[in-house]
Amino acid sequence: MAALTDAQALEAWKEALDAARHSKSYQIGPRTLTRHDITDIMRMIEWYERRIARASRSGRGGFGLADFGGAI
């Protein structure tokens, strides 16, 4: 699976938040899926929003590029 851009990851976390609002966990046969705590999801959404805003201000367009300060 290809890595997600920050914008795609933010959208995925927003979808997770919507899903978590409806159900915390569910079971299919012997398997159970438990979703993240809503507080944790909200923290990740805020983290990605800040990251995208910082990247936008630096002229990178919010693509989540790492900046190593010119150390190559």
CA torsion through residues 70, 66, 47, 53, sign: positive
Q: Residue 67: pLDDT band by 50, 70, 90 thresholds?
A: low
H helices within 1-72, ranges in order?
A: 6-22, 38-57
Which has more pLDDT, 22 or 39?
39
Please indicate, yes or no, whether the overall pTM of this predicted structure exceeds 0.75: no
pLDDT of residue 20: 81
pLDDT of 62 > 60? The answer is no
For the segment 41-45, the average pLDDT, to the nearest whole number, is: 92
Annotated domain spans of the chain = 6-57
